Each structure stands twice: as structure tokens, then as C-alpha cells.
Amino acid sequence: MAPASNSTLALATGAGLAASAALVRPWDEWLTSHHEHDEEFEREDGRGTLTLGSCRPTTLGQLARGAGSCLAFLAACDALIARRARDDTARYFVLHTLANWVITVSSSGEMAAVLGDPVNSSLGKCNLLPTYMIPCLFGYHLSVFKNAISFFMCGLPGGVDYAMLAAVKEGRMASSSAKEGLMASSSEKVWNARLQVRTPHKLLPYLLFLLAAFNGQYYMQKVVANTAFKNHGQGAC
């Protein structure tokens, strides 16, 4: 597709934003209808359990609906709007704008609920669309754009597992009496599983908090530094 003029791209992006906003509510309701179920939670005071409505995915079909619909949305936005940009950088910015808009609109209600009642807002049903859109956006970026996909496809973490498999096999070849080699086969399987699916750990919430804080600070610094550079030191503060 030939690059569009700036005005044409702006109009297409604006139309995409408007269409996305109108799509968010029925889309999220559709996802919720295929995810909702009752779930029991232990009371903090230890007096039995509390049954609440939940939308946490529990089947592969539910995950397929959420991820598939988000990837289809991104592919459509890319084909109809973002590819009109002059280069891949602008294309990615346009696509990111559309995805961020969907995330913002779909999570605005829950954001208001959190501000109004921080304690109880986390109970019950949740908004699924932002939860699916965020990983799908970055997954789409890794799959479609020219980037570091080879690092993950045939680099890490696969390379670590092949090294562990070599350790298991090498020990057996060196000594026929060795049952497990330089590394136990069971240990290799456990660590491979941890590498592939990232087994939840009690430190995970703290790591996610630090990552979110670092991400916000990093991009804020980039914006401030770029503003100062472009404006000769003015407007950065």
C-alpha cells in the first residue's frame, strides 16, 4: 500500500479512534459473557468463603476468544490504517495509538471505580479487554514488525534449555553408570517449565510493580529529555 498524505492518515486514524470507541462496549460484553463464572474466595477473617462473580479465563477456548479478537483487531487496524504511514516507525506509532485508545476507553470505568472505592473495586467481575489487548499488542509487534524476534525465536530462553539437555546427555555418555548425567533429567524438566511458562512466585507482584514503575519513569525521562533538546532547554519543566 502506497504511503498516504499526512491529512489522509490523520483522517483515517481519527475514524479508527471513533470506530474503536464505539466497538469497545459490545466487544467487552461479548468477552465477559464467555468468561463469567462464580468463584469462591477465602474471607480475610477466616470465616468460610465468599462466592463472587469472576471473569478469569479458565479454558483454552476463553483465551482463544480474548487473544484472537484482539489480534484480529490489531491486524485490521494495521491493514486499513497503520500501513498507510510512510515507514514502519510511524506505522507502529499509529497502531499503538489505536490500541492504547481501546485500552483507555475500556478501562476508564474501572479506573473510576478504583478512585471511588479502592478497597472493594477489586472484587467480582473485571474488564477483560485491556488485559488481553496489552500482551497482544506487543505480541503483534514481535511477530509482524522488523525487530528482535530472532532473539526469542531461536535465542533465549530456548538456548538455555538446550544447554541443560546437553548437560543431561553428556553425563550419560561419559559414564554408562551415571543415571542422570551432569544434570538430572527431572531438574531439566522443572527449569524448562519455569522458563517457558514463568511459574508464579510470591515475589512476582513486587517485580511487576517495579517493572511498571521503571517503565513509567523511563518513558517520562525520554519525553522530558526530548522536549528539552527540541526546545533548547525550554518547556521541559
pLDDT for position 101: 93
Total count of domains within the chain: 1
Cβ count within 10 A of residue 98 = 22
pLDDT for position 150: 64
Of 190-194, 197-201, 219-223, which has the strongest mean pLDDT? 190-194
Residue 141 within any structural domain of the chain: yes
pLDDT over 60 at 138, yes or no: yes
**Residue percentage of the chain with pLDDT more than 90:** 20
pLDDT for position 198: 59
How sure is the predictor about 178, in pLDDT bands with cuts at 50, 70 and 90? Answer: very low
| Whether 67 contacts 75, CB under 8 Å | no
pLDDT for position 1: 65
How sure is the predictor about 201, in pLDDT bands with cuts at 50, 70 and 90? Answer: low
Mean pLDDT computed over every residue of the chain: 79
Residue 6 within any structural domain of the chain: no
pLDDT for position 19: 92
Instruction: Report which of residues 159 and 121 the model is more confident about.
Output: 159
Instruction: Report which of residues 234 and 100 the model is more confident about.
Output: 100
Query: Whole-angstrom Cα distance, residue 63 to residue 57?
Result: 6
pLDDT for position 177: 44
As beta bridge partners, residue 38 has 53
Query: Whole-angstrom Cα distance, residue 184 to residue 200?
Result: 23
Residue 13 within any structural domain of the chain: no
Q: Tell me the pLDDT tens digit for each residue of 48-73.
A: 777 766 677 888 888 999 999 999 99
Question: Range of 103's domain?
Answer: 21-173+190-230
Residue 181 within any structural domain of the chain: no
As beta bridge partners, residue 51 has 40
| Whether 66 contacts 57, CB under 8 Å | yes
Span 146-153, average pLDDT: 65
Residue 130 within any structural domain of the chain: yes
Q: Tell me the pLDDT tens digit for each residue of 72-110.
A: 999 999 999 999 888 888 898 899 999 999 999 998 888
Identify the weakest region by mean pLDDT among 130-144, 159-173, 185-199. 159-173
Residue 49 within any structural domain of the chain: yes
How sure is the predictor about 175, in pLDDT bands with cuts at 50, 70 and 90? Answer: very low
Residue 10 within any structural domain of the chain: no
pLDDT for position 99: 93
| Whether 1 contacts 83, CB under 8 Å | yes
Residue 180 within any structural domain of the chain: no
pLDDT for position 176: 46
